[in-house]
Amino acid sequence: MARLDVALVQMRSGIDPAANIAAATDLIRKAAATGARLVATPETTHLVQKDAAEALKVMHAPETEPAIPAFAALAKELGISLLIGSLAVRTAGRKAANRSFLFAPDGGLVATYDKAHMFDVGLGQGETYRESDNYRAGDRLVVAEAEGARLGLSICYDVRFAYLYRRLAQAGAQILTVPSAFTRPTGREHWEVLLRARAIETGSYVLAPAQGGLHEDGRRTWGHSMIVGPWGDIVATLEDDEPGVLTASLDLTKVEESRRRIPALTHDRDLQGPDEMTRP
């Protein structure tokens, strides 16, 4: 397939999973109505709750998480490939996983991916995050097929680790997905730059559906969902943090063209480390 119509869902999820599932369902229906064959939602689609104890109370193991069959049924009903950017699901032990779910048009589960890099940062002015306190990091890369295209899966903070995307592209990914809930300080300064850099470095399309606005738990996220082309061009973007849908038609031949013009993915070298270099 040379062209692929896609849609990104921008949300403002709150602390009630059922309400968030309903809101996502409504936006996914609107996205599918545009003719999109691949629809993607943001990180933590069904729950934004900064109080870890309260979040754990409403989380489920994957086997009993109601969002999973609900979104599988929706993908089948609409006949679309559906990437749920992530759901917070309980795992063995006391920690959860931040997990992407890719559903096929028949409702089947194609692939899952657990966020690999934990957002453990202090942004100043009392804004501190310690994801590793409550979430278990994933340990594998995932490339999966959807609508004839190869998707490389990632989540939010992963976008700061260029090696991950290079490996996904070298494994055949044409489209990199970055569902996110970026903070406003980092989003304002880094969101667009990082997304465009990952596209340029790999010659890939980047799809970045986002959470946006002031959430029920008091958190503020950046929004500005974005689709970036393999030459680093901004194909489409939402200019605000309001819930909505962003659409574009991707020309997948541009991935091959970009990689042919600048074949950086084939130019890796096994360089010596600084401690191995001969010093004068």
Q: What is the mean pLDDT of residues 174-198?
A: 97
**Catalytically annotated residue among 65, 115, 131, 254:** 115
* Residue 156 is a catalytic residue: yes
Mean of pLDDT over the chain: 94
Closest CA to 195 of 179, 174, 171: 179
Q: pTM of this prediction?
A: 0.94
Q: How far apart are CA 206 and CA 149, in angstroms?
A: 13
The structural domains of the chain, ordered by start, are 3-265 (3.60.110.10)
**Catalytically annotated residue among 43, 65, 131, 147:** 43
Place of tokens 């689709």: 227
Q: Does the pLDDT at position 211 exceed 60?
A: yes
Three state DSSP letters for 38-61:
EEECCCCCCCCCCCHHHHHHHCCC
pLDDT in tens, 46-90: 999 989 889 999 999 999 999 999 999 999 999 999 999 999 999
Place of tokens 């084939």: 266
pLDDT at 93: 76
Q: Does the pLDDT at position 279 exceed 60?
A: no
pLDDT tier, 275 (very low <50, low <70, confident <90, very high otherwise): confident
- In the chain, the amino acid numbered 129 is Y
CA 240 → CA 6, 41, 46, 225, distances in Å?
A: 19, 16, 21, 8
Q: Output DSSP code: residue 135.
A: B
* Residue 115 is a catalytic residue: yes
pLDDT tier, 276 (very low <50, low <70, confident <90, very high otherwise): low
Q: What is the mean pLDDT of residues 99-117?
A: 98
pLDDT tier, 255 (very low <50, low <70, confident <90, very high otherwise): very high
pLDDT at 125: 63
Q: Does the pLDDT at position 216 exceed 70?
A: yes
Lowest mean pLDDT among 95-109, 116-130, 159-173, 215-229: 116-130
pLDDT in tens, 232-248: 999 999 999 999 999 99
197 near 162, Cβ under 8 Å?
Answer: yes
pLDDT in tens, 1-46: 699 999 999 999 999 999 999 999 999 999 999 999 999 999 999 9
Closest CA to 21 of 38, 45, 55: 45
Q: Does the pLDDT at position 159 exceed 70?
A: yes
Query: What distance, in Å, lies between the first and last C-alpha atoms of the chain?
Result: 55
**Catalytically annotated residue among 65, 131, 147, 156:** 156
Q: Does the pLDDT at position 195 exceed 90?
A: yes
